[in-house]
Structure 1
Amino acid sequence: MAVNLTPPNPATLHAVPGVRIGVAQAGIRKAGRTDLTLFQFDPGTQVAGVFTRNRFCAAPVQVCREHLGVAQSAPMRALVINTGCANAGTGEAGLQAARESCDAVAALLGVKAREVLPFSTGVILEPLPLDRLVAGLPAALADARADAWADAAAAIMTTDTVPKAASTQISIDGVRVTVSGIAKGAGMIRPNMATMLGFIATDAAVAPALLAQLAREVADASFNCITVDGDTSTNDALVIAATGRAALPAITDAASPQAQALRAALTQVALHIAQAIVRDGEGATKFISIHVERARSREEARLVAYAVAHSPLVKTAFFASDPNLGRILAAVGYAGIDDLDVSGVDLYLDAVHVATRGGRHPGYQEAEGKRVMAKPEIAVRIVLGRGDAAATVWTCDLSHDYVSINADYRS
């Protein structure tokens, strides 16, 4: 039931020089579908990551942080990703399983275990079936190809109904640079750094400190602006790999035109796959943009936007196409701005002026509100009248299917 979202065309997903990807059926999730993915990187590839701030973070997240170090950026040779089991809430045994998965990949590829990053997604509080993961690695290695981005996007899915991938190519100093990425996620989405799982690669060479900075900035401009249900996963991870295969000097200065061009391309890809997660939100029928403007700070604008985006009353009203728009004003009111002057607040639904000076607009007709809310894509604009800052959050409605999907998740 994804909203205006179709599977990516493999022909539009560019191979990234220095990256090979293989998938396999390891029997971790369900028989008959791919559930194990292996990324291989050429020597010299730099990888940076940002991860969930959930204190109950999964074992693979902990191991990734160990391998990337304090800088959260380091040379890496492989990523191993499984679906079907989150390896979260599994204690010391889970940590050992995550480390042993890295050992197995390292032995297979002839690299160091610290040069492998593990990722898991699926059911929490269940032990990782390490034997099946290890047994599936040779098949994933044999399947390795440069053009397997679409296959990988499908292999990392859990409750997703559509694979999520994007790709672009830009010119930096006359040299073609490629950026490709995939993500998975449909529920348990309120990232506090990135998304449930996201993997982006480029053939540009980027200094380690700058790559770590770009990972944070890209996450903040994309994955940290989406929500499906307000739940922050135990396994959220976004990594960006830079192989350095493009014929360019390493990008080291964040203010340089080269860094700005790369940042824009990375953000473009990340934003596409982040919004795809919302479009594929569990049971979603509406894709909703919530734009808050004239706030005193971006943080204040995001606070209001998320209050509206997380409100079950607002989300169910959108599902029903019911213009019960006082629910939006109520969410603005409890967002946490203690000195908010509601007489300065205006509310728009697309171009329809719903409320002004804290009350119903004299010209607003409910039929116009209902017309907008029946659309599959809707823009909410909230004007606070307090300053010049703005922020946008993307979300979806809350339907009967969301409850059914999550009630039956382990069935």
Structure 2
Amino acid sequence: MPVNLPELNPASLTPIKGVRLGWAESNIKKLNRKDLLVIEIADNSSVSGVFTQNRFCAAPVTLCKKHLAAVKNNQVASIKALVINTGNANAGTGEQGMLDAITTCQHLAENMDIPVESILPFSTGVILEHLPINKILAGLPLAVANLKNNNWADAATTIMTTDVAPKAYSTQVKIGREQVTITGISKGAGMIHPNMATMLGYVATDANITQSLLDEITKEVADLSFNCISVDGDTSTNDSFIVIATGKSNAPAITSREDAGFKEVFNALLETSQYLAKAIIRDGEGATKFITVNVNGALSIEEAKTIGFSIGKSPLVKTAMFASDPNLGRVLAAIGYASRECKSLEDLDTSLLELYFGDTLVAEKGGRAASYKEKVGQAIMNKAEIDITVELHRGNESATIWTCDFSYDYVKINAEYRT
């Protein structure tokens, strides 16, 4: 079961003015399960996205980028719909995969009477298999007919693959006397590692944010949330994070970082995205531990993140966490080889480094801390949530990443993924 992930209460998810969601059961991979989602977006909304950097990126990712570029080039007024299928990634599918993604958009465009270029397609699931396109096309009219503004909880369930639990979050902030709402959903449990992960994330707000500013915000929020998680060190072919701003709130428009409400809305978007990102880790395939790695005192954020991920994706660290084994050497080794991915760490002075489990100093001056007692470390490792802090004492930059352990179930889930 997910590690301390609260059960989703549909009533906690506030609808966003200008957004409706509809789902269908298309039997893409399994019978009688929600697996096709359509999200309708009000005219003239701002929509921004960041995507996987995997060179084998899926056909829908390529098409999303093309359609977002069409908006920027004024070839189409705005993005008006998203379509997401689970059960099949449409990745590694060559020319046919692109044709299937285009066909999906064409049929949805006909059903909704909107331009093809105003639709963003997304797929997630098995790689190197062609879409069951006829099943998807048959499901589109059903999803459109089911469009409602309060379908957020069903939408969170629809986009799941190996997830055990749906992931969604909603919050509100005030700008002056006016209220702004933010609601989001995500999916992901395995093949999770920046940039970005096997994850899909969709966050919407009724705030009025200009397109250029939303583009900046989306990248910054992604870097502080979905680009700070790792389940297994594998980056997928389909990762996408989309932020929608419908402008339907009565709050004043936000056109710059100096405008009233910018800080409040940015922080709410970040809060929502970090909750969704951490929910992915809590629901990591087979996870029994939720681990926070803080790295402080680095010369750069790159240094801090590199060390954090070196610890967070180490199979030896992760299996020790699963066994509740306070094996300090595995963490130190992971810190020590981080220079393979960040050359500035080649002169890391390990004699200055301090390592903490929780609030307990466990290593300093290049070795075990004199004050450290094994039974204290064991008590920390027995917990479901573990904090690891690395103090480098070489600069002023910091980073936090979230990860989980490796259990027997992780191997089982992935060994049986296609069966």
For residues 20 and 417 of structure 2, the distance between their equivalents in structure 1, rounded to whole angstroms, comes to 32
For residues 273 and 405 of structure 2, the distance between their equivalents in structure 1, rounded to whole angstroms, comes to 22
For residues 72 and 409 of structure 2, the distance between their equivalents in structure 1, rounded to whole angstroms, comes to 38
Name whichever of 374-383 and 195-204 sits farther off. Answer: 195-204
Which residue is equivalent to 1:109? 112
For residues 125 and 245 of structure 2, the distance between their equivalents in structure 1, rounded to whole angstroms, comes to 28
Cα pair 2:71 2:78 within 8 Å, conserved = no
Which residue is equivalent to 1:59? 59
Which residue is equivalent to 1:78? 81
For residues 182 and 194 of structure 1, the distance between their equivalents in structure 2, rounded to whole angstroms, comes to 15
User: Shift of residue 75 of structure 1?
Assistant: 1.5
Name whichever of 190-199 and 12-21 sits farther off. Answer: 190-199
Cα pair 1:49 1:237 within 8 Å, conserved = yes
Which residue is equivalent to 2:34? 34
For residues 8 and 45 of structure 1, the distance between their equivalents in structure 2, rounded to whole angstroms, comes to 28
Listed one character per residue, the Cα deviations across residues 129-178 of structure 1 (whole Å, up to 9, x for unaligned) are 11111100111112111111000000000000000000001111221111
Is residue 128 of structure 1 aligned with residue 131 of structure 2? yes
For residues 8 and 55 of structure 1, the distance between their equivalents in structure 2, rounded to whole angstroms, comes to 35
For residues 109 and 258 of structure 2, the distance between their equivalents in structure 1, rounded to whole angstroms, comes to 37
Is residue 367 of structure 1 aligned with residue 375 of structure 2? yes
Which residue is equivalent to 2:342? none
**Distance change >3 Å, CA 168–CA 72, structure 1 → 2:** farther
Which residue is equivalent to 2:44? 44
Q: Give the letter for the 2:194 counterpart.
A: P
User: Shift of residue 98 of structure 1?
Assistant: 0.4
For residues 396 and 276 of structure 2, the distance between their equivalents in structure 1, rounded to whole angstroms, comes to 29
**What root-mean-square deviation, in Å, do the aligned CA atoms of Structure 1 and Structure 2 show?**
1.3
Q: Percent identity?
A: 53
Which residue is equivalent to 2:146? 143
Is residue 11 of structure 1 aligned with residue 18 of structure 2? no
- Of residues 167, 186, 190, the one that matches 1:187 is 190
**Secondary structure of the structure 1 residue equivalent to 2:355:** strand
For residues 317 and 205 of structure 1, the distance between their equivalents in structure 2, rounded to whole angstroms, comes to 47
Name whichever of 300-309 and 65-74 sits farther off. Answer: 65-74
Cα pair 2:229 2:402 within 8 Å, conserved = yes
Which residue is equivalent to 1:347? 355
Normalization by structure 1: what TM-score? 0.98
For residues 364 and 57 of structure 1, the distance between their equivalents in structure 2, rounded to whole angstroms, comes to 47
What is the number of residues matched between the two proteins? 411
**Secondary structure of the structure 1 residue equivalent to 2:138:** helix
For residues 334 and 370 of structure 1, the distance between their equivalents in structure 2, rounded to whole angstroms, comes to 25
Equivalent residues in 2 for 1:163-178 (5 A)?
163-178=166-181
For residues 252 and 98 of structure 2, the distance between their equivalents in structure 1, rounded to whole angstroms, comes to 38
- Of residues 248, 257, 260, the one that matches 1:257 is 260
**Secondary structure of the structure 1 residue equivalent to 2:406:** coil
Normalization by structure 2: what TM-score? 0.96
User: Shift of residue 194 of structure 1?
Assistant: 6.6
- Of residues 380, 389, 400, the one that matches 1:381 is 389
Listed one character per residue, the Cα deviations across residues 307-340 of structure 1 (whole Å, up to 9, x for unaligned) are 0001100000000001111110011100001001
- Of residues 73, 91, 94, the one that matches 2:94 is 91
For residues 88 and 255 of structure 1, the distance between their equivalents in structure 2, rounded to whole angstroms, comes to 41
**Secondary structure of the structure 1 residue equivalent to 2:319:** helix
List runs of 5+ in structure 2 lacking aligned partners. Answer: 340-344
Is residue 317 of structure 1 aligned with residue 320 of structure 2? yes
Listed one character per residue, the Cα deviations across residues 167-195 of structure 1 (whole Å, up to 9, x for unaligned) are 00111122111100000000000021476
User: Shift of residue 352 of structure 1?
Assistant: 1.3
Which residue is equivalent to 1:308? 311
Listed one character per residue, the Cα deviations across residues 228-247 of structure 1 (whole Å, up to 9, x for unaligned) are 00101100000011111111
**Distance change >3 Å, CA 164–CA 135, structure 1 → 2:** same
User: Shift of residue 358 of structure 1?
Assistant: 1.4
Which residue is equivalent to 1:157? 160
**Secondary structure of the structure 2 residue equivalent to 1:257:** coil
Q: Give the letter for the 2:33 counterpart.
A: R
List runs of 5+ in structure 1 lacking aligned partners. Answer: none
For residues 333 and 194 of structure 1, the distance between their equivalents in structure 2, rounded to whole angstroms, comes to 25
User: Shift of residue 72 of structure 1?
Assistant: 7.1
**Distance change >3 Å, CA 239–CA 195, structure 1 → 2:** farther
For residues 210 and 318 of structure 2, the distance between their equivalents in structure 1, rounded to whole angstroms, comes to 42
For residues 113 and 347 of structure 1, the distance between their equivalents in structure 2, rounded to whole angstroms, comes to 53
Is residue 402 of structure 1 aligned with residue 410 of structure 2? yes
Listed one character per residue, the Cα deviations across residues 40-88 of structure 1 (whole Å, up to 9, x for unaligned) are 1111122100000001000000000000018879721100000000000
Which residue is equivalent to 1:393? 401
For residues 179 and 34 of structure 2, the distance between their equivalents in structure 1, rounded to whole angstroms, comes to 32
Q: Give the letter for the 2:364 counterpart.
A: T
For residues 237 and 354 of structure 1, the distance between their equivalents in structure 2, rounded to whole angstroms, comes to 38
Name whichever of 384-393 and 279-288 sits farther off. Answer: 384-393
User: Shift of residue 108 of structure 1?
Assistant: 0.3
For residues 51 and 278 of structure 1, the distance between their equivalents in structure 2, rounded to whole angstroms, comes to 19
**Distance change >3 Å, CA 72–CA 324, structure 1 → 2:** farther
Is residue 230 of structure 1 aligned with residue 238 of structure 2? no
For residues 200 and 124 of structure 2, the distance between their equivalents in structure 1, rounded to whole angstroms, comes to 8
For residues 22 and 357 of structure 2, the distance between their equivalents in structure 1, rounded to whole angstroms, comes to 45
For residues 348 and 303 of structure 2, the distance between their equivalents in structure 1, rounded to whole angstroms, comes to 11
Cα pair 1:293 1:390 within 8 Å, conserved = yes
**Secondary structure of the structure 1 residue equivalent to 2:318:** helix
Cα pair 1:94 1:127 within 8 Å, conserved = yes
Cα pair 2:196 2:235 within 8 Å, conserved = no
For residues 71 and 391 of structure 1, the distance between their equivalents in structure 2, rounded to whole angstroms, comes to 34
